[in-house]
Amino acid sequence: MGWAISQRIRSASWLAVLFVCFAGVSASGARAESPAVYMQRVQNELMYAQRQGGISAYANVLRRHMDVPNIGLTALGPHARTLPKADRPAYYNGMINFIAKYAATQGPKYIVTSAVVTGQGPGDAGGTNVDSHITLSDGSGYDIRWLVMKTKEGYKVRDAQVVGFWMTTFLDDLFQNYITENGNNPRALVLALSR
């Protein structure tokens, strides 16, 4: 059973990491839609990126929708204060490319045929939980809960929960462990992400 849960998390993780990192849809049209409608639109864009394949297809979607500052700085944990503001654009760009590379590599293994919003309700931190059901080409499926935040420009996706685990926790652990293993220097992470 542990293996099945681990496999399910792994199969869902690439898509969830992408969804976790969506931010700031443009002001046009976003204000009139609900969080559920917004999330359905974002899921459709991701499925299109998966069909296109390649890093740039995913990176383009991420750049349009990613809550870069919130997720990026949170992922650094206590190291965020030691990353110079001048290095943040390179860090944010590296984070986008890192996630896009991961999605481009893992996406073909887990073809999504359907991503359907099934409901929405109150979420943490003043956000809205949007629930979705994902169906893969092999017929298997899983549920994801997105934490969507309202902004002046529209909405941003702050996090995604897959099989009971919030995905930003994985990103936080990954980035903070890398920094710790490299002399507590966040610039080491910026350099690694830029490769």
Q: pLDDT digit string (tens) for 125-164?
A: 889 999 999 999 999 999 999 988 888 888 888 888 988 8
What's the chain's average pLDDT? 85
The confidence band for 116, taking pLDDT boundaries of 50, 70 and 90, is very high
pLDDT, one tens digit per residue, over 43-61 is 999 999 999 989 999 998 8
Q: Which amino acid is at 119?
A: G
Nearest to 96 by CA among 131, 128, 129, 56: 56
Is the Cβ–Cβ distance between 118 and 131 less than 8 Å?
A: yes
Q: What is the pLDDT of residue 14?
A: 47
Is the Cβ–Cβ distance between 176 and 77 less than 8 Å?
A: yes
Residue 11 has pLDDT above 60, yes or no: no
Is the Cβ–Cβ distance between 12 and 20 less than 8 Å?
A: no
CB atoms within 10 A of CB 12: 24
The confidence band for 170, taking pLDDT boundaries of 50, 70 and 90, is very high
Is the Cβ–Cβ distance between 83 and 186 less than 8 Å?
A: yes
The confidence band for 13, taking pLDDT boundaries of 50, 70 and 90, is low
Q: What is the pLDDT of residue 23?
A: 35
Is the Cβ–Cβ distance between 46 and 61 less than 8 Å?
A: yes
Angle at 15 between CA 24 and CA 169, to 5 degrees: 75
Nearest to 110 by CA among 65, 72, 144: 144
Q: Which CATH number fits domain 2-190: 1.20.1600.10, 3.10.450.710, 2.60.40.3880, 3.40.50.40?
A: 3.10.450.710
Residue 179 has pLDDT above 70, yes or no: yes
- Would you state the torsion angle of the CA atoms of residues 74, 75, 81, 86, taken in this order, to the nearest 10 degrees? -110
Residue 31 has pLDDT above 80, yes or no: no
